[in-house]
């Protein structure tokens, strides 16, 4: 080995390095990439602002409505059969009911709050641009919850929590098919509310349907309304209505405390599970990576959500044909400015803060 050669090579390498340092970057690039060099292509990723397509799929929404009807019928048939099995015992010990003052008007107040909460949730959904997808999700989740409720109230029947609540007389014989259908029709015609006098059958305790609807209304408002500071009051209003509705339900002895706790737990877990699946495309695929496909309603979920590409953006528009909106806009502008001021935006976008 010749050390002189190594030393000479090192000297030449240092000279080349110094020349490269002194040469500007642009000149070096122009010398390096000659006309004989191949073209360099750089793939620029698509921006996140690229518009995703969220199909309405009204047929799936209609089928989800039928699923909701089926779930509600499961609950009504369960209540119609449970009524005659309610034990004639005193109310069970309850830490909340035993330490609060009884107010019979609390049940009516709770149901009035339920109606207000439903109106707020309905308004949130109807002004959302992707309202059809949200309606489909609400129908499916409510259908699941009604089916769960029909099962839990049938397997374990609790004594009446309010001694003053008037229930229909029990039958002294096995219920016939016509009597069962008559009870179901009565329950359905009342919409599950006591304020109209149609909720005369008892035994629907575990779990609370009132609490379930109140929580669903709050979850809809919180998930699909804007998350800006301006709408914080709207979120707090919906939350306080839900809490107040449950409190009124308890002071009226409409349900045991365990009924409300189980209703919150089941409703929140089904809602959060469904939306976690919907917002993660890899959880829509069956495989060893996804243990969520063991849920019995996962295939129903995948059918409903398979064409939804991503989490729904918070965008809002009026549920009217575009021609009607454009005509109203131009009429408004002529009245105030004398002439149209160009095509306006029909959609409002909520920017996250």
Annotated active-site residue 255? The verdict is yes
**Which of 259, 289, 293, 345 is an active site residue?**
259
Are 191 and 111 in contact, with CB atoms under 8 Å apart?
A: no
DSSP string of 153-213, one letter each residue: HHHS-PPPS-TT---PPPPSSPPPHHHHHHHHHHHHHHTT-STTS--------SS-HHHHH
Annotated active-site residue 210? The verdict is yes
Q: Which one, of 140, 146, 61, 135, lies nearest residue 300 by Cα?
A: 140
The CA distance from 298 to 273, in Å, is 10
Task: Give the distance, in angstroms, between the CA of residue 186 and the centroid of all CA atoms in the same chain.
Answer: 30
Annotated active-site residue 310? The verdict is no
Q: What distances in angstroms separate CA 94 from CA 53, 162, 296, one per listed residue?
A: 51, 12, 34
Q: What distances in angstroms separate CA 281 from CA 99, 145, 218, 307, one per listed residue?
A: 48, 24, 26, 10
Cα atoms in the Cβ-side hemisphere of radius 13 Å centred on 341: 10
Terminal Cα-to-Cα distance of the chain (whole angstroms): 69
Helix axis angle, 209-224 to 131-155, nearest 10°: 160
Looking at the DSSP bridge assignments, the partners of residue 349 are: 315
Are 20 and 96 in contact, with CB atoms under 8 Å apart?
A: no
CA angle 281, 282, 285 (to 5 degrees): 100
H-helix or E-strand spanning residue 349: strand 348-349
Are 314 and 191 in contact, with CB atoms under 8 Å apart?
A: no
**Which of 210, 275, 289, 345 is an active site residue?**
210
**Which of 83, 128, 130, 255 is an active site residue?**
255
Q: Which residue numbers are catalytic?
A: 210, 255, 259
């Amino acid at each position: 080995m010749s050390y002189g050669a190594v030393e000479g090579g090192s000297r030449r390498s240092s000279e080349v390095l110094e020349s490269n340092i002194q040469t500007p970057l642009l000149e070096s690039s122009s010398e390096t990439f000659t006309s004989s060099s191949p073209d360099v292509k750089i793939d620029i990723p698509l921006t996140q602002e690229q518009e995703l397509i969220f199909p309405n799929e009204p047929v799936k929404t209609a089928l989800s409505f039928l699923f909701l009807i089926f779930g509600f019928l499961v609950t009504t048939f369960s209540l119609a059969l449970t009524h005659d099995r309610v034990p004639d015992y005193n109310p069970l010990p309850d830490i909340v009911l035993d330490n609060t003052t009884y107010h019979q008007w609390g049940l009516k107040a709770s149901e009035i709050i339920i109606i207000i909460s439903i109106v707020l949730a309905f308004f949130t959904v109807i002004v959302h641009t992707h309202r059809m997808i949200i309606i489909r999700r609400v129908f499916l989740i409510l259908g699941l919850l009604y089916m769960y409720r029909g099962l839990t109230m049938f397997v374990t029947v609790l004594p009446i929590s309010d001694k003053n609540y008037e229930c229909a007389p029990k039958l002294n014989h096995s219920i016939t098919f016509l009597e069962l259908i008559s009870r179901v029709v009565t329950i359905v015609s009342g919409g599950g509310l006591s304020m109209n006098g149609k909720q005369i059958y008892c035994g629907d305790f575990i779990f609370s349907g009132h609490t379930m609807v109140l929580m669903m209304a709050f979850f809809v408002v919180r998930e699909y309304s804007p998350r800006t500071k301006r709408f914080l009051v709207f979120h707090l209003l919906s939350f306080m209505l839900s809490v107040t509705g449950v409190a009124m339900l308890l002071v009226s002895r409409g349900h045991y405390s365990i009924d409300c706790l189980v209703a919150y737990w089941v409703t929140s877990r089904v809602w959060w599970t469904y939306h976690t699946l919907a917002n993660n495309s890899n959880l829509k695929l069956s495989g060893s990576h996804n243990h969520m496909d063991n849920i019995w309603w996962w295939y129903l979920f995948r059918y409903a959500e398979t064409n939804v590409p991503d989490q729904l953006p918070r965008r809002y528009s009026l549920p009217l044909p575009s021609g009607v909106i454009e005509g109203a806009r131009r009429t408004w502008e002529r009245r105030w400015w004398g002439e149209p001021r160009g095509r306006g935006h029909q959609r409002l976008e909520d920017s996250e803060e």
